[in-house]
């Protein structure tokens, strides 16, 4: 049940109220944006529409990052103290081999030939 306003009486002395304008809707930029959205809707384009190639590439990047994070987490979980110690020893052996190769490079050639003869 609505009450009817008093100013419909037709009294010419009364000032009839006007509906206030929404400043957002009255702005030019809002009207242009609304017009563009309507045009895109008529064409069948969504607001968030991107080219298919761009969507596929973003999807691949996202999946690749997720895969990398999972692999890193699994690698951290799987490394027991024993595996860590083995890795350290392996690195030490690699360093020792590199140092030996450097020392052999500085040795005279006749010593290298002599060692090769001993091996055969």
Structure confidence by residue, pLDDT tens digits, 67-100? 999 998 888 777 778 888 888 999 999 999 998 8
pLDDT band at 47 (very low <50, low <70, confident <90, very high): low
Other beta carbons less than 10 A from residue 64's beta carbon: 10
Neighbour-count burial for 8-34, b at 16+ CB within 10 Å, e otherwise: eeeeeeeeeeeeeeeeeeeeeeeeeee
Is 96 a domain residue?
Answer: yes
Is 52 a domain residue?
Answer: no
In this prediction, residues 38-49 reach a mean pLDDT of 76
Closest C-alpha to 41, from 49, 50, 30, 53: 49
Is 34 a domain residue?
Answer: no
Is 5 a domain residue?
Answer: no
| CA–CA dist 120, 7 (Å, integer) | 120
* Count of the separate structural domains present in the chain: 1
Is 8 a domain residue?
Answer: no
Is 21 a domain residue?
Answer: no
Could you tell me the pTM of the whole model?
0.32
Is 102 a domain residue?
Answer: yes
Is 92 a domain residue?
Answer: yes
């Amino acid at each position: 049940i609505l009450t009817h306003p008093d100013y419909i009486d037709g009294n010419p002395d009364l000032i009839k109220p006007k509906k206030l304008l929404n400043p957002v809707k009255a702005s030019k930029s809002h009207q242009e944006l609304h017009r563009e959205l309507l045009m895109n809707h008529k064409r069948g384009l969504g607001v968030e529409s991107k080219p298919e190639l761009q969507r596929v590439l973003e999807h691949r990047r996202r999946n690749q990052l997720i895969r990398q994070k999972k692999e890193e987490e699994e690698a951290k979980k799987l490394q027991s103290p024993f595996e860590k110690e083995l890795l350290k020893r392996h690195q030490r052996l690699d360093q020792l081999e590199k140092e030996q190769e450097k020392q052999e490079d500085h040795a005279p050639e006749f010593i290298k030939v002599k060692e090769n003869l001993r091996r055969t």
